[in-house]
Each structure stands twice: as C-alpha cells, then as structure tokens.
Structure 1
Amino acid sequence: MTSTTAPTAPPSSGGLDRKLSLRHIRFIAFGSAIGTGLFYGSSETIQAAGPAVLIAYLIAGAVVYAVMRALGEMAVRHPVAGSFAQYSNRYISPRAGFLTGWTFAFEMVIVAIADMTAAAAYMGMWYPDTPGWVWMVAALLLICGLNLMQVKVFGELEFWFTLIKITTIVAMIVGGLALIIGGVSLGGFTPGPHNLFDHSGFAPFGVWGIVMSLGIVVFSFGGVETLGMTAGEADQPERAIPKAVNTVPVRILLFYILTIAVMLMLIPWTELGTGESPFVQVFAVLGLPGAAHVINAVVLTAALSAMNSITYAASRMMYGLADQGHAPKSFTRVSKTGVPVWPMAVVAVCLVIGLFVYLWIPDQLFVLVASIATFATVFTWSSILLAHLNMRREMVRDGLPSAGFKSPLWPVLNYAGLAFMAGVVIILAFSDSGRMALIVGAVWLTLLLLGYRYFVGAAGRTRLELPVRQAPESH
C-alpha cells in the first residue's frame, strides 16, 4: 500500500511527557481490562451460559492476544500518541483513522459510564436510601481530578488502584481453592468441581448460551488495547511495550478464567444472580463478619480504577486525533502538568450526559452501555488487525526490516480475529440491548462519516507518515 506525502507525526508526541515506566504501562492496561466486566458484568455472562462461560472467556482471550500482538508490533515500530488511530490512518486510510480514533474515544466514554453505574450500585449496599446519581457525580469529580494530575502521578495512583484489585483476585483464587480442597461447606453448598456439572450440566443453555455470552465477554476485555495508548508517554517504548504485551493479556485471561472457575466451584452458578457483584455474593455466603463489606469496597475501587484508566485513554486518543487534523487543534494544548485539558473537558461533559441517561433508565443502563461498548470494541479491534495486516504486507512488499516484536502466525491470526469480530456483531442482533447497540453504532458511524466529509480539512485527509523506530528483534 503506497502512502502520499504528509506531515510527519512528532516522535516525542508533542507536549506529552514520556514518564510512564513499564510498571505503570502494565497496570494501566490491567486497570482498563480488569474492572466492571469482571467484578460486576460476569454475573450477566454466567447467567447467559452457566459454567460454559469459561469457554467464551477462553475464545475471547485468544482473540485479545492476537489483537495485542498486532498492536504491540505497530506500537514498537511507531511509538506515537493516538496509537492505533494513527496506524489506521497510515495503513488503511485517513477516513479509517478518523473513524477508529473517535470510535475508541466513544467506547472509552461508554465504558466509563458503565463504571459509574457500577460504582453507584456498590455504594447502594451501604447507603440504600441515597440516590445512585449522587455517587455517580462523586465518581466523576474524583476521576476527572486524578486525570488532571501529572501523568507520572496518574500512573502511580493507577498502579496502587490496580494492585488492590489484583491482590483481591489472587486472594479469591487461593482462598477459594483452599476451601474447595478442604471441602468446607458454604451456605449449605459443598464446594468442588461437581458444581460445574451438577446443575443442569456444564452448558445448561448449550452452544447458543456460550455464543450469546460473548457480547458481554468482549465488553469485559474491552480496554486492554489502552496499552497501545501509552506508547506516546512511555520512557522506553521499544522495551516496555513488548514486555507489557507479552504478559498483560495472558495474566488478564488467567485472572478471569481462574476467578470465575473458583466462584462457580464454590457455589452453584444458579445462585449467582444479576444486579450485584458475584464477588460480594460469594463472600456473603462465606458468613465471615464484614467480608462482604470489605469486598464491596474492593470492587468499588476496581470500578474507579477502570474508570480512571479509561478516562486517560480517551483523552490521549483525542490528543492524537488533533495531531492528525481529525480534532480541533486546541486539543493538543496541554496543562502545566502535561495533561491535554480540552479532551479531558469533553470526557467530563460526556460523563455528565451519561448521568442524565441513568436518571432516565437506571435499571437498563448497564446492559445497554455494555452492548454499545462491545460494538465499539469490535470496531476498534478490527481496525487494529486490519492496519497490522496491511503494515506487514507493505513491509514484505518493500523488503523492509522489522523493528522487532513480530506478531506470530501472520496473517492467519489477523483473519481469524476479523472473522470473530464479524460473528460478535451478528450475535448482538439477537438481543434487545444488542440490537439497540447496533442502531446506536450505525448512527454513530454515520455521524462520523458526515463529520469527516464536512469538517475535516485537507491536512486531515492526507495519509500520515509515521516515525519508524528501529530496534533489535525480541520475542
């Protein structure tokens, strides 16, 4: 694929500071992907597929790995702010870069609204008479305040936020296995592998149940691509990005699989209802004084952590879009702490809109925004796989050397991943919330196409030339 002459994206990402370490990058990605989807949304997936939901997580996890390896190779070769929006611009088309960037920002805002909704539900355990919107406002103010800090401070706070989540998950897995091995009775239920099969079988709803659960499962993993957004602020992207990509997706998958498997062995899946965190339900069954309250505090922290990482990702994407001429130039202005202020303001306004939607449909908001986020996630992941496919084709055609960290099994993984994305879009059409998500997605993409046609100038319609970093081959 040839590219026309265009302004070269700045290697240093303009006014952004390269102050994120490998530790920060890993935990920002953890923070985005391990949050509401696991601690709250997993109850929806369990009720859709029963214990067989583990298969859905394995399938989606394999696709996540393919997407992240593709993104990792591009991020090492082109460590720029805006990440995959600029890759779509360069290797698909400027229009595709515009659609990808704004759809990812849309995805992040939608997921942040889901996190706010979950935070309100968690606070409802302690203050059932307080309206949920009060806690959503509190979460909004807290997260926007944290994101206005210097990026290094933000990265450090997110590290500790996420460490609390990971510690809780590990404790859940280790403690749960100890109870299972010891055969300790919980709330009248005997824990063990038999709980995976005794209640209408391992797959009570058959293959269809597994298929239908994939929508929320993809939503659960959505946000892991945030790792690519850190390339513009990583102090050593050629070292940090490959290490993070090699470890983060596998660890996230293990956390999801092991945690849900342990929960399903502790108590029957039929006892895990929707509307609250299954983590809180499991610890409530343990009967330990205050255990449910402690876990509720942890899952609240998890929701805020995910919302924190997601807000960061959305603002950096809009900053990168402005670099391409796909957003107002004012979006590249940063504060004294190196934070793009106008993108942060846009995120805040969108969260306020989500608050008003909550007042309109409080009971249906989470499932609806999860479905919409799934559509946006599928679009973003598809763009990453297609851009990587075209990049490697161009490299092979022109005999260009690798910058390191080659994605394995190219192009097989790319095609398999794209086929999976098409399948998820079809799956969404079989549920009320999914159909609404497809309608919202179609309207969103139509508005973006109109915006590109009438508001993007000549500079934004020219394919980018991205800086290329040469690095030793690593695996």
Structure 2
Amino acid sequence: MKDGPGLSRGLKSRHIQMIAIGGAIGTGLFLGSGTAIHESGPSIILAYAVTGIFCYFLMRAIGDLLLSDIKLHSFIDFVKRYLGDGFEFVTGWTYWLCWINIAMADLTASGIYVRFWFPHFPQWATPLIIIVVLFISNMASVQLFGEMESWFAFVKVFAIIALIIIGGYMIAIGYQTNAGTASFANLVSHGGFFPTGLKGFLISFQMVLFAFAGIEMVGITAGEAEDPKINLPKAINSLPIRIGLFYVGSMIVIMSIYPWNSLSATQSPFVMVFADVGVKAAAGIVNFVVLTAAMSACNSAIFSTSRTLYALAKGGNAPKRFKKIGRSSVPNAALNFSSLVLLLVVVLNYLIPKNVFKLISGMATVNFIFVWVMLMVCHIAYRRKVKQTDELIFPMPGYPFTDFLTIAFFLFVLVMLLFDSNMLVSIVLAVIWFACLLSIYFLRVRSKKRRAM
C-alpha cells in the first residue's frame, strides 16, 4: 500500500526490529574491540553502558518526534519544521555524508576481509561487487531491503549470542586458557577496573561512540514502516536490552576469559574465544560475520542516503529529480546518485588502499555527533511548542533534563576527539565540509532574494 507521495509502507514489524538490532551492532565490535580493550581495559564495559544510555535517550527523542506526525517520513523533515530551512540543509546533507562515509569505511574493510580467503583478489573489486548487488536489491523494493537487512542482523546476533553462551560455559567451569583461568575475577585482578587510569577510560568514548554510529537509522525507516505507532516504540524500547546483551555482555565475557592485558590489539577477541574451544575455522567464521556486518552497513547506507536525499528534495534543499519515485515505490534518482558516489571508494581503494579506512571513519564520527546534537536540539524545539503533554504518543522520559544531558555528553566526546592526533585530519575535513555547506546555502538564499526582486 502506498503512502503520501509514493513511498511504500512495506517494512513489517520484524524488519523494523532487526534493522534496529543491526544498527546497534557495527564491525567495530567484532574486529576493533581488541584495540579498544587494549587501550582502556575493563573500563570499556562502563563506557559502553554509559554511551548506550545516552543513545537510548537519543532514540527516545527521535521516536517522540516521529510519532508526533506520522505523515512526515524522516527526522530530516522535523528539522526543517522546528529549526528551519538552513538547519535542514546542513543537517540533511551532513547525515547523507555520514552514511556515505560509513559505507565507504566498511566497503574498504570488506576488501580486506575477502583477501583473508583470496589473498591475491584486488582490494577494490570486492566493494564494486557489493555496491552493484545491494544497489539492485534496494532498487527492487523496500521489502527486499528489509529482508536482506534482517538476515544480515541475524548473522551478527547469532555470533554474539554464541560467544556469550560459549564464554559463559568457559567461565562457569573455570576453563584454562593460555592466559590463565576463566573467571569474573579477571575483570579487576589485573590492575583494577580502570587499569589505564581516567585518561584511558575517557579516550575510550571515541571508539565506543563510533561503534554506535547508525543506531538512529530506525528513525529513517519510520516513513516506510507498516505500523509506525506500534513498531517504532517497540524497537526503541528494546534498545537497553540489546546494548546490555551485545556490547556490555560480550565485553564482560571476553575479559573474564582473557585478562585485558593478554588480549591482542590486532586480533579479534571473538576469534580467540572460538579458537580456544577447538573451533578450527574460528578465524574464517568471524571473518564471515565481519564481512556480513560490512555488507549490512553498505545496505543501510544505500537505503538511508536515498531517503535522506528524497526528504531534502521535498524540502527544496536538494535537486527536484531526487523526489522521483519508481514503480517499486523507491526513490530511484536519489538511490542512483548515492550509489554512484559510493563507487568513489572503489577508486580510493585502488589509489590509496592503506589510508582510506582511518580517514573516512574518523570523519564519520565527527559528523554523526553533529547530526545527533541537531536531533536533540530539534526535539527540544518541538517540545517547547507542544501545549498539552498528555497528547504525546511516545514522550521523552525526563524531558528537558535528559535532552540537555545527552547534548552535553555528545559535546564531551567531541572535545575528547580533539586530543586524539589521529583525528586531526578528519576534524579538519569535517570543518571544511560544514564551511562549504554554509557557503552553498547562503549563496542559494542570496540567489532566491535576487530573483524575488
């Protein structure tokens, strides 16, 4: 059944649930958690828990916004309504770039993952194949996107649950590893819970926040959800359980089996756990899971960037052609453009294969923080205009205290990024991006005024 200007409400409840789960699990958990643990020790568990709380508040704010008017298809539309045209332009295009960056980073990683099995396969070829396959599936229908994302999420969830069950058994029997006895005591018996001090704990928030990038994507799906008033609150309210299980749970298990200082910064802890219990193909299995997570990120990027461009075009902040809807109720022009831009990663992987991932992922982190702050500001502006709070369908808990506290947390992480020398280039590129957007917007405004005279 078609809705509004042509988008289809074809995403069912299970699609929304699995998309929400998939958005909360990134490749960083499977591959990069070894580095995160190495730098902060067991305190990373607390960092995941704290960040998860604020991401939950972010999602409650988004849910409050979206369910206030289900005729609007994206939170970008609400930014325009409550903050104005300029904020929609900057926030919308920055969000589009966020997902382009995430997809490029994970597509780059996918080229590396495939070479695990095929060492001589060109690194640029894998991203090209993935983009073409996912472009075709997204072009077909939103239901097919939902099915593919559901299966991608299922693979990630299955891997984490398997780790927790196997790891829990190892802890229960006091399994002997090369690093000693598996026990919860390992969380505090090797330098304490904060072995790298307060500095290590605070710096860990940079890595943790990047792991949660994309969690807000369920807000983009609301415009094509079968019954958003039921499915969206259900997906958002299950966030604390998912975060507690996937991130906090897996980190507790891993560092109970292996003391934090015995974990390799370059090897996935998931590989170590599965290999330790005799799974000979452990590295290959985890590599497949991580490749699935990378494909999931690209799939989500193609979907979310096309819908963001569609929303921007409807608001007059992107070319009108991006409003065109195809026979499958999919914004074809917007999807074509985003997919073509993603092909740049193929060129980058051909020219500078070693430096692409770090540069792109760093810029994505900065831009996501900006978008999240803007969404919280938008929510505050919306609630200030609401006269009767009893009419709210899915009210933000603790408003306005939780809104300001969440904004303060995101800004704190942004400040932490300034102390990381590896992030400087990414921060400079992000500043250039914002400067370009503002310049383009003011030139457009000036041009419109001249035409009106």
TM-score normalized by the length of structure 2: 0.93
Per mean C-alpha deviation after superposition, the further-off stretch among 136-145 and 309-318 is 136-145
State the alpha-carbon separation in 1 of the partners of residues 192 and 346 from structure 2: 40
1:110 deviation in Å? Answer: 0.7
Is residue 329 of structure 1 aligned with residue 320 of structure 2?
yes
Q: What is the match of residue 422 of structure 1?
A: 411
Q: Distance in 1 between matches of 2:442 and 2:246?
A: 44
Name the residue aligned to 2:70.
Answer: 79
**Cα offset for 1:210?**
1.4
Point out the more displaced range, 271-280 or 32-41. 271-280
| 1:182-201 to 2 correspondences below 5 Å | 182-187=173-178, 189-201=180-192
Instruction: Tell me how many residue pairs correspond in the alignment.
Output: 448
What residue in structure 2 maps to residue 28 of structure 1?
19
Q: Distance in 2 between the 1:34 and 1:402 partners? A: 34
Point out the more displaced range, 140-149 or 234-243: 140-149
Q: Provide the C-alpha distance between the structure 1 equivalents of 2:153 and 2:370, rounded to a whole number of angstroms.
A: 27
Provide closer, same or farther for how the CA distance between residues 114 and 50 of structure 1 changes in structure 2, counting only shifts above 3 A: same
1:89 aligns with 2:58: no
- Distance in 1 (alpha carbons) for counterparts of 2:182 and 2:293: 26
Partners of 1:456 and 1:176 in 2: CA distance:
58
Shift, 1:288, TM fit: 2.1
| Alpha-carbon offset, residue 362 of structure 1 | 3.1
Q: Indicate the residue corresponding to 1:280 in structure 2.
A: 271
Shift of 1:414: 0.6
Indicate the residue corresponding to 2:199 in structure 1.
208
Give the deviation of 1:80 after TM superposition: 4.8
Q: Which residue of 2 aligns with 1:159?
A: 150
Paired position in structure 2 for 1:435: 424
Q: 1:82 to 1:447 in 2, by over 3 A?
A: farther
Give 1:457 shift.
8.9
Q: 1:13 to 1:115 in 2, by over 3 A?
A: farther
Which residue of 2 is the match for residue 454 of structure 1? Answer: 443
Query: Paired residue for 1:136?
Result: 127
The 3 A distance-change label for structure 1 pair 458 and 16 is farther
- Distance in 1 (CA, whole Å) between partners of 2:208 and 2:190 is 22
Give the corresponding residue for 1:354. 345
CA contact (8 A) 1:173 1:262 kept: yes
What one-letter code is carried by the residue in structure 2 that aligns with 1:245? I
Hey, what does 2:362 align to over in structure 1? 371
Partner of 2:372: 381
Query: Structure 2 vs 1, CA of residues 394 and 160 (structure 1 numbering), >3 Å: closer, same or farther?
Result: same
- Pick one of 129, 153, 159 that aligns with 1:168: 159
TM-superposed CA distance for 1:395, in Å, is 0.8
- Secondary structure at the aligned position of 2:280 is classed as coil
In 1, distance between residues paired with 2:390 and 2:334?
A: 36
* Partner secondary structure for residue 132 of structure 1: coil
In structure 2, distance between residues paired with 1:143 and 1:276: 29
1:409 and 2:418 matched? no
- Measured after TM superposition, the shift of residue 37 of structure 1 is 2.5
Runs (5+) with no aligned partner, structure 2: none
AA in 1 matched with 2:421:
D
Q: Does 1:304 align with 2:331?
A: no
Match for residue 463 of structure 1? none
Q: Contact between 2:82 and 2:382, CA under 8 Å: does it hold in 1?
A: yes
Is the 1:326–1:456 contact (alpha carbons within 8 Å) kept by the matching residues of 2? no
- Does residue 125 (structure 1) correspond to residue 116 (structure 2)? The answer is yes
How far residue 459 of structure 1 moved from its aligned partner, in angstroms, is 9.4
Cα drift, residue 180 of structure 1: 0.9
Distance change in 2, residues 1:298/1:384 (3 Å): same
State which of 201, 206, 210 in structure 2 corresponds to 1:219: 210
Residue 82 of structure 1 and its aligned partner are, at CA, apart by 5.1
TM-score by length of structure 1 reads 0.89
The CA deviation at 1:13 is 4.1
Pick one of 319, 340, 343 that aligns with 2:334: 343
Unaligned runs of 5+ in 1: 1-10, 461-475
Q: Deviations over 1:58-107 (max 9, x none)?
A: 11111101100000011111225552211111112211111111111111
User: Is 1:260 matched up with 2:255?
Assistant: no
Q: How big is the shift at 1:46?
A: 1.6
Q: Is the 8 A contact 2:179 2:258 kept in 1?
A: no
